[in-house]
Structures are given as C-alpha cells and as structure tokens.
A and B are shown apart, each in its own frame.
Chain A
Amino acid sequence: MNHPVFRNTIIFLLAIAVSAGVARCAPMPDVPLGPPQTVTTINPKMGIHTRLTDEVEPWKIKYTLQLVREMGAPWMVEYFPWAYAEPLPGIFDWRHSDTVIEHAHRQGLTVIARLGFVPPWARPADSATSYLLPERYSDFGDYVYAFAKRYRGKVDYLIIWNEPNLALEWGFRPIDPAGYTDLLRVAYRRAKEANPDVQILGGALAPTLAPPGDEFGMSDTGYLQAMLDAGAGEVMDGLAAHAYGWVYPPDDPPAPEVVNFRRVELLHQILAANGYGDMPIHITEAGWNDHPRWTRAVKPGQRIEYTIRAYQLAQQWDWLDSVSMWAFRYPRPAQTYQDYFTFVTPDFTPKPIYDAVKAYAKGETQ
C-alpha cells in the first residue's frame, strides 16, 4: 500500500477525478462586483482581519468587505488555506479566493493574504494541518507561486505561515526558527518569481512569554532573533506581528516580561539592532476582547477606547505600515469568548465598536 508507484497512481487517479469534479462544479453564484470604491479615512494605517475562510455565501463576502470599507479601514488581512486551494497536487480550486479578492479589490481594500494549512497529501496521515517537513517546502512554494501569480496586482502582501513560535502551529514538532526561515526562504523565492512586486511578510509570531526550552512555545522576541540569525532578514520584506492588548491599555509600556499592545516595539528594536530598522512591520492581528466572563477581557467601553487609541498610536510609528484588528465578523457564533473580539455580529448587526471606529475614521471623534 505504501509503495511509491501505487501511491502515485492513486494520487494521479484522484487528481483526474477531482479536476473533473472542479470543472463540473458550478462557479460561486455571481454577485455583481459593483463600481470601484475607495476607502475614506483619516488614518491610512487602519486595518481589520476578516474571517471569510468559512463564509460560503458570496453576498455575505461582498457585504463584509463593503462594511470594512465603510468603517474606514483600507487594510484587511485574510487567510487563504493551502489545503482549500490545492486539494490535490497541482489541482487548484480558486473559486472562493477569487470571490474574496475580487470583491476586496473592488472595495478599494489592500489585501494582506495569510498562507498556510497543509493539505493531507503533503503531510503524513493523522498529522496536524501545520505539519510540513522540509522535503515538502517546495510543494508549499508551488502554492505560493501560484497564488502570487494569480493575484498579481490585487494581492501584494503575503504572510508566510502563522505563529510558528507555537508548537501547535508548527505541527507539534520542536519549535525551529531556522527551519521556519528555510520555509520563508523557499516561499520568498517562489513568490518573487511569480510577482517581483509582492511583499513577503515573515513571522506573524504569537506574543508569548514561554521560558527557554518550553515544549509549547518560544518567546516571540527570542524567536525573531533566532530567525534573523538564520538569515530571515534577507528573505522577507516586512515583519508580520501580533499585538493583543489583553487587559492592558494600549499605552502600557513595553517590557520583555509583559504581553501588551506595545510589545511590538520590542520586535522593531530587535530588527533595528540587527540592521533592519527600516523593515516595515504590519500588525496583522491585534485587539481587545470584552467577553463578560473571560479573564483576559476588558469592559466593552474600554475595548472601544483602547482600539481607537491603538489605531492612533500606529500613526505615530513610522516603522509600522498597518494595524489590523482581530476580527471583523465570524460566519456563525463561536459561542465562546471569541465572539467578543468581533466588530459585527454574524447577522451583520454592527456592534457599538464598529460605529465608534467608523466615527473615528471619519474624523468625527478624537
């Protein structure tokens, strides 16, 4: 059963079957793109992480992006899982990503695309979806190439992987900054082959205080330094960072032993100390949570104040290009604290934070 010839034959037959299936599948129902729009805002660094990966209805995709534009956020981050786009080697299904990107482009949004999620054919059976061995890096590189080429001119920012400083996001293998840098190197080369203008963002590290040797995670600062030691500075155009505030206000000063919004300043300092002070940082996940029973949450009013203040702080940092809050909307309620990160409800009812941020972006509030 494990003989390569047998396995390759099975994959080949499956590829034919899937490609026939993809070809036969009706395209996602057409929702008119509408006229080209532009984002009006007083703060061009404002962004939001949408969560359209599991949103299957095109009109909801369009409406989500319309609301993002109307809120005054020119930047959006979205996740485009490799496994969804390439269910079998070389067989691509772009229908969902086409819908998201075409509508985003038409709404005048700048898309930062996060790429990851290993398809079953590229990893051992029963392994995690974040498990990718070095001999498969080239397969991921092929996906990055195909994505960058297809969306050239519409997606010019790619995040390679997510939070690789957590074992959970590294296939539950030993955390390996040098290994991640190798992956980044492959992705960088392949992306540039497809689109020399695309900006490759590395890192997307989870802010964590994990002590040295911890099996579940490595501190983001230590991991970044190890990445740079392995040469990551030469194979990324910018750094993606996560900057959750938890219970601290956005002005809370950064410190190695604290996870807060301004911890991102430590990452900038590490870049600068390694000769990459001009490398832009994009905060691709950030924010506060106002769940009434989560210990890391703040009050709803604080969440509004902190979020707007964080957007204001971003304007003061010349090394930061964008800050995208987590998360705009979920397709369905998570029924956990996660629901209290969102800006609109699953049924598109704007929460007060949405209106407050929108008013800020219009210059109606300070």
Chain B
Amino acid sequence: MTRTRWFFILGAIVLLAIVIRMAVVYRQGQTGLAEIQRRGTLRVGMDAAFPPFETVDADGNLIGLDADIARAIAADLGVRAEFVNIGFDGLYDALKIGRVDVVVSGLPIDPLRTRDVSYSTPYFNAGQMLITTRSDVQSVADVAGKTVAVEWGSMAELAARKLKATVPTMTISPQPDAETALNADLAVVDGVLRLNRPQARTVAVLADNWYAAAVNIENSALLAAINRTLAAIKNSQSLCGLAVPPSEFSHPPSVESCYAR
C-alpha cells in the first residue's frame, strides 16, 4: 500500500472520529431539551428572596423579573415553569446534580464556573453606576468639583474611590445607608438599587456585574432556546424593559416602576 493511501485512510479515520464526536455532543445537547419537553415542565432554580428579581407574594406565588423571564422561556418551549426555591449558594449544585434545568436568579456570571455551566446572554447589569438628576453632569468628567454620594463601606464607595483616582477634585460623601445615597442628586449605586430611582439618569457604568441564566454545559439546545427568548424579550421590552442594559435606560419610568421594590 502506498504512503498516500495510508494518509488517506488515516485522514478518513480522524474525520470520522470528529463527526462521531460532534454527533455525540449534539445528541447530548438535545437530550436535555427533549427531556424537558417530554416532562412538560422546565424546572427553574431560584432563591426567591431577592426582590425585585424573585420573591414570593402573599399568595405564595413566585413573582419578579426572573420569575417572568423563566415563565417566558418555558412558554416558548411549550412547557410549564416549575420553580424550585433554593438558597443562593446551592443553586449551582442543584444544576450540577440535575435537580433543576436552569438557574434564573439574579445570578452573576462567574467565568471560573464555565467548565461546568453555560451562561445565557446577560440580561441585567447589577454593577456600580454613576447616576444623577443634575443637568450639568453628562459624563464622568463632569463630576469634577462635585459631591458624589455613596453608601458608606459599600462596593459603590469602592467604585467611587476608583473614579476619584481619575477625577481627583470630586468629593465622596459616604451616607449611612443606600437609600440616602440613592436620593442624592449625584451618586454611585448598584444596578439593583438604581431601579428604585427611575427619574435619575445613568451617566456611566463604573463596574459591570452582569446577571445571566445558567444551564448545564451539556445542555446546548436549552441554552440556545433561552437566548432566543431573551432576545425576543429585549426586542419587545415586554418584561418591563429590564432586559435592556441599564447603560441604555431609555424606557418609560412606568415600565421600570413595575419591578421597583
């Protein structure tokens, strides 16, 4: 047999192995979604103690942005959302052992988890942001010579300190609680708190902290379905518009207020 023929056979074997592997991966990715549809429910893990993202109302119903997102995902899959209320620190374990199909729970993206889980398109930035009601603050540079309120000791204060390193003439005014800082005319607050001040304008996001849904890394078909739903939500702003990144807050206050605490 000639050397060329050996190369041809070897190449064919390698190609076949790649195709088989891709088929196996694809099948694994489809299995999770098929199981959900066979079962008729999407099991959603969340820690329902984080309004306005997820909480339990007086009638025992799960409500909030994440609950609505989960219901929308389930509806697009043609199944019913089944909520599994789990403590925040147990959410990843629940996903890993298959107790839930997806976690939608104000979950910050953790790059070091991506060996085990896949994250959806991020849908909310809970990071630190500079907000204002003042007309003379249009950019970060405009805080020069002005006083910026923060909650004393918080991550917002940390972000403000970093900002001050670039704008030394700004003054940081630590406040005893987050609500007091939020009501100042110029403040650094996190994206969740910021929801309670819709009349303020976001000047800049100083530190990102994106929330996303998480699925088992093998569940690629479910991940694709979730991303399709999130894209549709973002385009329609059908869920009070919170799927729009806070840096693009442009939707009506009445929409924001539906999730305000």
Contacts and interface: CB of A to CB of B under 8 A. Distances in A.
A333 B190 CA distance: 18
Nearest to A307: B153
B127 to A, nearest CB: 13
B153 A333 contact: no
B65 to A, nearest CB: 14
A320 to B, nearest CB: 26
Given A299-B177, A332-B112, A352 B153 contact: yes
Interface residues of B, number: 24
Given A293-B49, A301-B152, A304-B152, A352 B157 contact: yes
B158 A352 contact: yes
B158 A351 contact: yes
A293 B88 contact: yes
Interface string B102-115: 00001010101100
B198 interface: no
A233 B161 CA distance: 49
Given A290-B154, A356-B153, A336 B88 contact: yes
A122 to B, nearest CB: 27
Q: Is the interface of B mostly helix, strand, loop or mixed?
A: mixed
B89 A337 contact: yes
A65 B108 CA distance: 30
Contacts of A335: 108, 110, 112-113
B252 interface: no
B72 interface: no
A1 B256 CA distance: 66
Contacts of A329: none
Contact of A351 (B112, B153, B176): B153
A246 to B, nearest CB: 16
B176 A301 contact: yes
Contact of A337 (B88, B151, B190): B88
A337 B91 CA distance: 13
B100 interface: no
A170 to B, nearest CB: 22
A62 interface: no
A335 B88 CA distance: 10
Contacts of B178: 299
B29 to A, nearest CB: 25
A333 to B, nearest CB: 7
Nearest to B113: A335
Contact of B151 (A299, A336, A349): A299
A45 interface: no
A290 B154 CA distance: 8
21 contacts: A290-B153, A292-B190, A293-B49, A299-B176, A299-B177, A300-B153, A300-B155, A301-B152, A303-B153, A304-B152, A335-B108, A336-B88, A337-B88, A349-B158, A349-B162, A351-B153, A352-B152, A352-B157, A352-B161, A352-B174, A356-B153
Of all A-B residue pairs in the complex, the 9 with the closest CB atoms, nearest first, are: A300-B153, A301-B152, A335-B110, A300-B154, A352-B153, A301-B153, A304-B153, A336-B89, A293-B50
Interface of B: 49-50, 88-89, 106, 108, 110, 112-113, 151-155, 157-158, 161-162, 174, 176-178, 190, 192
Given A293-B106, A301-B176, A337-B88, 18 more contacts: A290-B153, A292-B192, A293-B49, A293-B88, A299-B151, A299-B176, A299-B177, A300-B155, A301-B151, A301-B174, A304-B152, A332-B112, A335-B110, A336-B89, A337-B89, A351-B158, A352-B152, A352-B174
